[in-house]
Chains A and B, each alone.
Chain A
Amino acid sequence: MQTKRTIFSQRVLPYFLLLPQLTITAVFFLWPAGQAAWQSFLREDAFGLKTTFVGLANYQRIFGDPSYLNSLGVTAVFSVSVTVVSIGVALILALAVDRMVRTAQVYTTFLVWPYAVAPAVAGVMWWFIFNPTIGILPYLLRGLGYDWNHSLNKTDAMILVVLAASWKQISYNFLFFVAGLQAIPSSLKEAAAIDGAGPLKRFWTIVFPLLSPTTFFLLVVNIVYALFDTFPVIHATTSGGPSQATNILVFKVYNDGFIGQNFGSSSAQSVVLMIVVIALTMVQFRWIERKVQY
C-alpha cells in the first residue's frame, strides 16, 4: 500500500486518529453483519423460545422456496431494465450535449438536479402520475385504449417502479458520460471526419470504444443502485405487489425479517445479498486499479 516518503514517527497517535472510524465500523457494520451471518445458520421455533443450529438448512430452504426464486427473477428483470433505461437515455443526452458549444452548461444544469431527489420522493411522484383514478398518464393511455392499473396488473407495476427508479439515476449517468466524452481527444474525431466518417460511424468506431471504461463502470454502479438503493421506491409505491410482481430481494429481506419476523430465512437472504455486493465491489475495484495504473 502506498505511503509517504517522509512520515511522522509517533506510535500511539495514529490509533487515536483511527479510533472513531473503527469503533463505528465495528459496532454498526461488522458486528451486525456477523450477527446476520451467524443467524443464518439458526432456526427459531414457532414461539421464539428455542433456537437450534441447523447448518445450511436455511439456505436450502430459501433456494427451494418459490417466492424467493420469483424474487430473484423479479430482481433480475428490474435491475437490468433500470440499468438499460437509465444508461441508454443518459448516453443519448450526453452525446447531444457534447455537440453543444455555448449551451452545454445550461442544458447540463437542467438535467442534473434529479440526482438530489430522494428515491422515495421520486417513487411517490410517479405513483401520483400513474394513479389509476386521477393520474395523467392512465388518462392518456385510456384514450389509446389501454387500461392502466398498477395495483392489479403485474407488468404495469413493474413499468412504474422501473421508471421511477431510472428517472433519478439518469442525471448521475449523464454526468459521467459527459466527463467521459470530454476526455476523448477531438483530434481523433476530426481525423475520422476528414477521412469521411459520418457522425454514426464515428460514434461506433471511435467514441463508443473509448467510452467503454465509463460504460462498464456505470454498469456496475447502476446494478448496485438497482439492487440496493431502490428499496424506498418499492416501499413507497407498490410494496412488492401486486402478487409479488415487484418484490425485489432487498425488499423481501426487510419484509421477511422485520415484518414477518422470520429471522433465519431473512438472515440467509442477507448473506446472499452481501456476497453479491462484495462480488460487485470487487469487480468495481479491479476496474479502478486498472484505470490508475494505465
Chain B
Amino acid sequence: MVENRPWLDFFCHVILIAGIVVVAFPVYVAFVASTHGPNDFMSGLLPLLPGNNMLDSYGQMLGSGVSTSGVPPLALEMTNSLIMALMIAIGKIAISILSAYAIVYFRFPLRTLAFWTIFITLMLPVEVRIYPTFKVVADLGLLNSYWGLSIPLIASATATFLFRQFFLTVPDELLEAARVDGAGPLKFFWDMLLPLSRTNMAALFVILFIYGWNQYLWPLLVTTDERYYTVVMGIKRMADVADAIPQWNVVMATVMLAMLPPVAVVILMQRLFVKGLVETEK
C-alpha cells in the first residue's frame, strides 16, 4: 500500500463485496430454485430463501433422471463427464509432453514443420470446422463412445508449448551428467524430466480437467445414445422440453451438480489453478 487513505480502502472493500455478490447471485438463485418443490414455481415469483425440497430434487436427479424427457440419471451423466474430462486431461498431457520432448531434445529433419503443424491446432477451434470433423468421427465409427468424445479434443498446442518452455529452462548439465552415467533418452525422460515436470503437469491438469468437463458442442453432436450423455450438454436437453414448462427445480439441481466438480477443483487447488492459467497463456 502506498499511503493511508481510510475512505479509499473502505470504498475498495465496498466494490469488492459488491463484485462478489454480483458474481455469486446467479448461483445463489439457482441453488434456491433447486431446493424448492415443483409447485413453488406456479405462483409466478421465485422465493429468495431456500425451500425444503432439496433432498428430493437432488435425489430424483441423481437416482432416476427425468424419464419422460429422456434424461438419464445424473449419476450416469456425471460419471460420463468425469471419464471424458479425465481422458482429455491425461491424454493431452501425455501426448504433449512426448512431442515437446522430441522437439526440444532431438534434432531431426522436418522438426520445424512438426512444430508448426502442432501450432496450427491452436488456430482451429472445433466450432469452425464442426461438420467435417463430425464426419471424420462418424466414418471412424466413433460416435457414441468415450473415444469419440475425447480423442478429437486431445491434440493440444498450448500444453506442448508449456512443456517446451519448461524443458528449455532445464539446465543442459543435467542431460550431460545423465549421459556420462550412461542414461539413454527414454531413461533420462522417465527418471529426470518427468519428476521435474510434476508441478507443471499438475497445474495443467487442473486447467484441462475444467476444459474437458465443460465441453458442450462436441458431446452434443457425437452422442445420441443416452448412456453417453454428459451432464453439461444434458442441461440443454432438459431445459427445452418442448411440450411443457421446464421443471425448474430439477433443471437447477442439474446446474448445481454440473458446476460442482470443476468449481471444487478451482477452489481446492487455487494455487495450481492460477499457475496453470497464467502459464498456459504465455
Task: Please report A residues at the B interface, Cβ cutoff 8 Å.
Answer: 1-8, 10-11, 13-15, 17-18, 20-22, 24-33, 35-36, 39, 89, 92-93, 95-97, 99-101, 103, 107-122, 124-129, 133-136, 139, 167, 170-172, 175-176, 179, 186, 189-190, 193, 199, 202, 217, 221, 228-229, 231-232, 235-236, 250, 253-254, 257-258, 263, 266-267, 270, 273-274, 277-278, 281, 288
Tell which of A8, A11, A250, A278 has the most Cβ of chain B within 10 Å: A8
Knowing A117-B263, A128-B33, A278-B123, the reply to whether A235 touches B5 (Cβ < 8 A) is: no
B179 within 8 A of partner (CB): yes
Q: Point out the residues of chain A lying under 8 angstroms from B12, CB to CB.
A: 95-97, 99-100
How far apart sit A219 and B117, CA to CA, in the bound complex (Å)?
Answer: 26
Contact sample, A vs B, 23 pairs, CB 8 Å cutoff: A21-B99, A24-B95, A25-B118, A28-B152, A32-B135, A33-B129, A39-B132, A93-B16, A99-B1, A107-B20, A122-B26, A127-B239, A129-B25, A133-B44, A135-B46, A176-B281, A193-B3, A221-B281, A235-B217, A257-B131, A258-B131, A270-B131, A273-B128
B15 within 8 A of partner (CB): yes
On whether the beta carbons of B136 and A32 are closer than 8 Å, the reply is yes
Task: Please report B residues at the A interface, Cβ cutoff 8 Å.
Answer: 1-3, 5, 8-9, 12-13, 15-16, 19-20, 23-27, 29-30, 33, 41, 44-46, 48, 94-96, 98-99, 101-108, 111-112, 114-115, 117-118, 120-125, 127-137, 151-152, 154-155, 160, 168, 172, 175-176, 179, 184-186, 188, 210, 213-214, 216-217, 220-221, 232-233, 235-236, 239, 248, 251-252, 255, 258-259, 262-263, 265-267, 270, 273-274, 277-278, 281-282
Report whether over half of chain A's contact residues are helix, strand or loop; otherwise say mixed.
helix
Q: Point out the residues of chain A lying under 8 angstroms from B262, CB to CB.
A: 116-118
On whether the beta carbons of B102 and A17 are closer than 8 Å, the reply is yes
The 10 closest A-B pairs by CB, nearest first: A32-B132, A118-B214, A116-B262, A35-B132, A17-B102, A14-B106, A96-B12, A232-B216, A14-B102, A125-B26
Q: Point out the residues of chain A lying under 8 angstroms from B8, CB to CB.
A: 99, 199
How far apart sit A114 and B131, CA to CA, in the bound complex (Å)?
Answer: 30
On whether the beta carbons of B131 and A266 are closer than 8 Å, the reply is yes
How far apart sit A179 and B278, CA to CA, in the bound complex (Å)?
Answer: 9
Q: Point out the residues of chain A lying under 8 angstroms from B239, CB to CB.
A: 124, 127, 236
Beyond A13-B185, A27-B136, A232-B232, 16 extra complex contacts between A and B, CB < 8 Å: A4-B104, A13-B186, A17-B101, A18-B98, A20-B95, A24-B155, A95-B12, A96-B12, A110-B24, A115-B266, A116-B263, A116-B265, A125-B29, A127-B239, A258-B131, A281-B123
Q: Point out the residues of chain A lying under 8 angstroms from B94, CB to CB.
A: 20
Closest residue to B136 on the A side, CB-wise?
Answer: A32
On whether the beta carbons of A112 and B132 are closer than 8 Å, the reply is no
On whether the beta carbons of B29 and A8 are closer than 8 Å, the reply is no
**Closest Cβ–Cβ distance, residue B107 to chain A (whole Å):** 6
**Closest Cβ–Cβ distance, residue B143 to chain A (whole Å):** 14
On whether the beta carbons of A254 and B104 are closer than 8 Å, the reply is no
Knowing A24-B155, A124-B235, A266-B131, the reply to whether A231 touches B105 (Cβ < 8 A) is: no
Q: Point out the residues of chain B lying under 8 angstroms from A277, CB to CB.
A: 123-125, 128
Q: When the two chains form the complex, which single residue of B151, B179, B217 contacts A231, counting CB atoms closer than 8 Å?
A: B217
Tell which of B2, B41, B96 has the most Cβ of chain A within 10 Å: B2
On whether the beta carbons of B213 and A128 are closer than 8 Å, the reply is no
Closest residue to B107 on the A side, CB-wise?
Answer: A7
How far apart sit A1 and B26, CA to CA, in the bound complex (Å)?
Answer: 47
On whether the beta carbons of B98 and A274 are closer than 8 Å, the reply is no
Tell which of B175, B216, B278 has the most Cβ of chain A within 10 Å: B216
Q: When the two chains form the complex, which single residue of A35, A96, A114 contacts B135, counting CB atoms closer than 8 Å?
A: A35
Q: Point out the residues of chain B lying under 8 angstroms from A126, CB to CB.
A: 26
**Closest Cβ–Cβ distance, residue B77 to chain A (whole Å):** 13
On whether the beta carbons of A258 and B130 are closer than 8 Å, the reply is yes
How far apart sit A32 and B111, CA to CA, in the bound complex (Å)?
Answer: 23
Q: Point out the residues of chain B lying under 8 angstroms from A199, CB to CB.
A: 5, 8
Q: Point out the residues of chain A lying under 8 angstroms from B25, CB to CB.
A: 129
On whether the beta carbons of A119 and B214 are closer than 8 Å, the reply is yes
Knowing A8-B106, A128-B33, A134-B46, the reply to whether A28 touches B128 (Cβ < 8 A) is: no
How far apart sit A190 and B246, CA to CA, in the bound complex (Å)?
Answer: 57
